[in-house]
């Protein structure tokens, strides 16, 4: 049930993409997004496309898994494609009365779609498919650590994230249990007027809330009993470490991005 909520699921593996430090992946992803958003011509986007295919190949993740992440943005994709398709200027290819498809419009629509697709594919590739949520929260905690000077609660936020992740399945199970219990008492969630439905959902939400508070209370006790006292002086089982792989990968990655941006700025007229 909860799988539907996630944008993509972690795909276990030992590829280069999996072995990169999550911090490297986060930073490089930001660079990649910038590179994706600036150019609007064919050549840099073609290069980006080739680059992304390269990333998919080295990640060793089946194409099916990667493409399934596009399902959630299908609507936006089609919408953006159509808007661009009908709003171009220049020579008309097809005249449909009020709507006219132009050469520019078609090109723009295709480029726009490719950019959107690449954006989603690269993000899921970097963040969800090859990185566990836990690694991600560690990376965030680590990258935001310098901000603790201005009392930014980096550790607390990361801890909250990982506890939330830990309890997602538990709370889904609990919701299911409560729904079954209330249904057995005659609660009905499908029929009746608006008011009846709301009333039905209250019978789930109230026990769920109470259970969350109880769990939170007990978990706080359990954490304290295991000597939890905030992020100070805390070590990690899997300490994040940059390796030569990170260095090499980052170098190649940055050079590629620079080349792509160069083609955009220096050869704007080259289609």
Partner 1 sequence: MPFLKEQILKRTQTFNHTESSSYPGSDDSLILADNVSFAYPASDGSSSDIVALKNVSIKINKGKHVAILGRNGSGKSTLAKLINALEIPDQGKVIVFGHDTSDKSSLWSVRQACGMVFQNPDNQIVGTTVEEDVAFGPENLGVPSDDIRCRVDRSLSRVGLEQYALKAPSQLSGGQKQKLAIAGILAMQPDCVILDEATSMLDPKSAKDFLKLIKELQQEFSMTVVEITHDIENAVTADYIYIMQQGEIFFSGTPREVFTRPDKVLSAGLDLPQHLYINYLFQNSFSHEALESLHEKHPDDIFTPEETVDAMFELQNIASPQTITSPAKKYSYSNQTLISVEKLSYTYQKGTEFAVDALKEVSFQVEQGEMIAIVGHSGSGKSTLISHLNGLFVPQTGQVEVMNLNTRNKKNIREIRKFLGLLFQYPEHQLFENTVYEDIAFGPKQFGFSESEIEKNIKQAIDIVGLSQDILQRSPFELSGGQQRRVAIAGVLATDCEIFVLDEPAAGLDPIGQQEIINYIMHLQKLRKTVILVTHDMKLAARADRILVLNEGSVAAYDTAENIFSNQKILTAAGLEVPPAYKFARLISEKFSCEIDGYTAEDVNYNLLKHLNNRRQSNA
Which of 162, 175, 197, 261 binds partner 1 (CB under 8 A)? It is: 162
Q: Is 101 in the site for partner 1 (CB under 8 A)?
A: no
Q: Is 166 in the site for partner 1 (CB under 8 A)?
A: yes
Nearest to 109 by CA among 132, 84, 89: 84
Which of 219, 248, 252, 267 binds partner 1 (CB under 8 A)? It is: 219
87-95, 144-152, 207-215, 258-266 -> range binding partner 1 (CB under 8 A):
207-215
18-26, 79-87, 100-108, 227-235 -> range binding partner 1 (CB under 8 A):
227-235
> Contacts with partner 1 in 21-50 (CB under 8 A)?
none
For residue 99, what are the β-bridge partners? 96
> Least Å distance between CB 36 and partner 1?
30
102 phi and psi angles, rounded to 5 deg: -110, 170
User: Which tokens sit at 25?
Assistant: 């992946």
Which of 57, 67, 181, 267 binds partner 1 (CB under 8 A)? It is: 181
Helix axes 244-266, 42-59, angle to 10 degrees: 160
Q: Is 233 in the site for partner 1 (CB under 8 A)?
A: yes
- Between 95 and 173, CB nearer to partner 1: 173
23-31, 41-49, 122-130, 231-239 -> range binding partner 1 (CB under 8 A):
231-239
> Least Å distance between CB 61 and partner 1?
18
- SS3 for the chain, per residue? CHHHHCCCCCCCCCCHHHHCCHHHHHHHHHHHHHHHHCCCCHHHHHHHHHHHHHHHHHHCCCHHHHHHCCHHHHHHHHHHHHHHHHCCCCCEEEEECCEEEEHHHHHHHHHHHHHHHHHHHHHHHHHHHCCCHHHHHHHHHHHHHHHHHHCCCHHHHHHHHHHHHHHHHHHHHHHHHHHHHHHHCCCCCCCCCHHHHHHHHHHHHHHHHHHHHHHHHHHHHHHHHCCCCCCCCCCCCCCCCCCHHHHHHHHHHHHHHHHHHHHHHHCCCCC
Which of 97, 235, 266, 271 binds partner 1 (CB under 8 A)? It is: 235
Q: Is 160 in the site for partner 1 (CB under 8 A)?
A: no
Which of 134, 143, 157, 261 binds partner 1 (CB under 8 A)? It is: 134
- Between 113 and 211, CB nearer to partner 1: 211
37-45, 95-103, 235-243, 256-264 -> range binding partner 1 (CB under 8 A):
235-243
| Neighbour count for residue 66 (Cβ, 10 Å) | 21
Q: Is 203 in the site for partner 1 (CB under 8 A)?
A: yes
Which of 50, 99, 160, 218 binds partner 1 (CB under 8 A)? It is: 218
Positions in the binding site for partner 1 (CB under 8 A) = 132-134, 162-163, 165-166, 169-170, 173, 177-178, 180-188, 202-203, 206-207, 210-211, 214-215, 218-219, 221-229, 233-239
């Amino acid at each position: 049930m909860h799988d539907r909520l996630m944008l993509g699921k972690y795909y276990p593996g030992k590829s280069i993409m999996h072995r990169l430090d999550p911090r490297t992946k986060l930073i490089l992803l930001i660079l990649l997004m910038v590179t994706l958003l600036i150019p609007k011509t064919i050549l840099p986007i073609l290069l980006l496309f080739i680059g992304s295919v390269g990333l998919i190949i080295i990640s060793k993740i089946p194409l099916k898994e990667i493409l399934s992440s596009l399902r959630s943005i299908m609507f936006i994709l089609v919408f953006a494609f159509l808007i661009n398709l009908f709003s171009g200027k220049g020579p008309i290819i097809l005249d449909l009365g009020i709507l006219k498809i132009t050469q520019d419009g078609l090109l723009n629509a295709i480029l726009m779609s490719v950019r959107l697709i690449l954006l989603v594919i690269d993000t899921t590739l970097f963040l969800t498919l090859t990185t566990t949520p836990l690694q991600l929260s560690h990376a965030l905690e680590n990258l935001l650590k310098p901000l603790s000077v201005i009392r930014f609660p980096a550790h607390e936020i990361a801890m909250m994230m990982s506890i939330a992740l830990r309890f997602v399945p538990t709370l889904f199970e609990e919701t299911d249990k409560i729904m079954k219990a209330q249904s057995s008492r005659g609660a009905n969630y499908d029929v009746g007027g608006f008011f009846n439905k709301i009333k039905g959902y209250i019978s789930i939400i109230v026990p769920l809330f109470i259970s969350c508070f109880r769990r939170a209370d007990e978990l706080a006790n359990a954490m304290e009993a295991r000597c939890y006292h905030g992020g100070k002086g805390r070590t990690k089982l899997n300490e994040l470490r940059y390796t030569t792989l990170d260095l090499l990968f980052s170098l190649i990655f940055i050079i590629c991005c620079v080349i792509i941006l160069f083609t955009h700025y220096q050869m704007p007229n080259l289609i």
